[in-house]
């Protein structure tokens, strides 16, 4: 039960931009780069086992920020599946961003297997490497656990074997008395975290009740609940488990690149949805619209 979630992909891109921006915010357009850093690279991106095309950004460390040349980089980029030995070549694709700067996005056509391990390598003309070891998370199918009724209705969902869940979103499909449907989405904060067998999310229906009704503009029926999340490699977990830009701006706080800088992980999008029981809704202000609409 896997689906492509643009919001999760956008979040992943936003994280990369956030970390870069946080690290560069205090710099002028021109900086004095130590000789030891010139000629190295920053790598950003993630492998996706649900996609046939993989993309990683390669950023040369230069004296000037945000004006990377569109000229081809003097590097060779490859990746190797450490289980099968299969090697993939990556090609440079130059893109222009909204601020007018350009970037080098390397792409390769292959689909990494769930649970596989890969070594991503950027080789410089002198034969030295900038590399990252990547572990693709396993395939995860959510398990719906018994609802908890004490202290308000709560829906726990277990994601067995998930090393990490990024940005978990809950979407409530509500129904007006006219039978029209609408969706209310919010981020699940504070009730998602690692457990012994993977990752668990908990929806507090009673706590969300008033918020949903207010956003929806009055009492509504509740037809469906959908959870969307990004299953990510364990090394994606930030220090302290929180994506704090002040912490992430510190060199080495979130990185797995050797010989250079940055982070290359692995992640994919998945979802779980279910229909709430009428008995669960009886303790909330949601209307009983069962059977009243087609």
Spell out the per-residue pLDDT of the chain, length 294, in tens. 333 333 334 434 444 443 443 333 333 333 344 444 555 899 999 999 999 999 999 998 875 555 567 888 999 999 999 999 999 999 999 999 888 888 999 999 999 999 999 999 999 998 899 999 999 999 999 999 998 888 788 899 999 999 999 889 999 998 887 788 889 898 887 788 999 999 999 998 878 887 787 777 767 788 899 999 999 998 887 666 655 555 555 555 667 899 998 899 999 999 999 888 888 888 787 877 666 676
C-alpha dihedral (200, 205, 211, 212), degrees to nearest 10:
100
Q: What end-to-end distance do the CA atoms of the chain give, in Å?
A: 26
8 A C-beta contact, residue 270 and residue 2: yes
The answer to whether residues 292 and 176 touch, using CB atoms and an 8 Å cutoff, is no
Residue 78: half-sphere exposure toward Cβ, Cα within 13 Å: 11
Tracing tokens 């956008």 back to the chain, one arrives at: 10
User: How much is the CA Rg of the chain, to the nearest whole Å?
Assistant: 22
Res 131: pLDDT: 96
Question: For residue 192, what pLDDT is reported?
Answer: 87
**31 touches 63 (CB < 8 A):** yes
The residue ranges of DSSP E strands in the chain, in sequence order, are 41-47, 53-60, 76-81, 87-89, 91-96, 102-109, 117-123, 129-135, 143-144, 154-160, 164-175, 181-187, 192-195, 198-204, 221-232, 257-258, 261-274
CB of 261 closer than 8 Å to CB of 43: yes
Read off the pTM.
0.79
pLDDT (0 to 100) of residue 181? 87
The answer to whether 29 touches 101, Cβ cutoff 8 Å, is: no
Alpha helices in 100-224 (DSSP H): 205-216
Distance CA 225, CA 203 (A): 9
């Amino acid at each position: 039960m896997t689906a492509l979630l643009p919001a999760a992909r956008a979040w992943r891109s936003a994280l990369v931009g956030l970390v870069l921006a946080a690290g560069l915010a205090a710099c002028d357009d021109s900086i004095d780069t130590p000789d030891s850093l010139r000629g190295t690279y920053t790598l950003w991106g993630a492998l996706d086992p649900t996609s046939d095309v993989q993309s990683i950004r390669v950023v040369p460390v230069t004296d000037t920020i945000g004006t990377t040349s569109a000229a081809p980089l003097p590097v060779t980029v490859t990746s190797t599946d450490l289980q099968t030995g299969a090697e993939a070549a990556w090609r440079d694709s130059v893109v222009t961003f909204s601020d007018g700067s350009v970037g080098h996005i390397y792409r390769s056509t292959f689909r990494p297997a769930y649970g596989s391990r890969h070594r991503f390598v950027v080789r410089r003309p002198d034969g030295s490497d900038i590399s990252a070891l990547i572990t693709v998370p396993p395939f995860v199918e959510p398990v719906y656990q018994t609802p908890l009724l004490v202290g308000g209705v709560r829906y726990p969902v277990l994601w067995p074997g998930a090393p990490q869940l990024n940005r978990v979103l809950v979407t409530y499909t509500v129904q007006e008395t006219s039978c029209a449907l609408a969706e209310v989405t919010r981020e699940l904060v504070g009730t998602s975290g690692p457990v012994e067998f993977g990752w668990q999310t908990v929806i507090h229906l009673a706590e969300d009740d008033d918020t949903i009704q207010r956003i929806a503009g009055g009492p509504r029926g509740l037809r469906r609940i959908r959870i969307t999340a990004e299953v990510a490699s364990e090394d994606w977990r930030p220090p302290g488990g929180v994506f704090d830009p002040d912490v992430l701006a510190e060199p080495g706080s979130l990185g797995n690149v050797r010989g250079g800088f940055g982070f290359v992980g692995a992640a994919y999008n998945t979802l779980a949805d279910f229909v709430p029981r009428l008995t669960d809704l009886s303790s909330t202000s949601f209307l009983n619209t069962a059977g009243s609409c087609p």
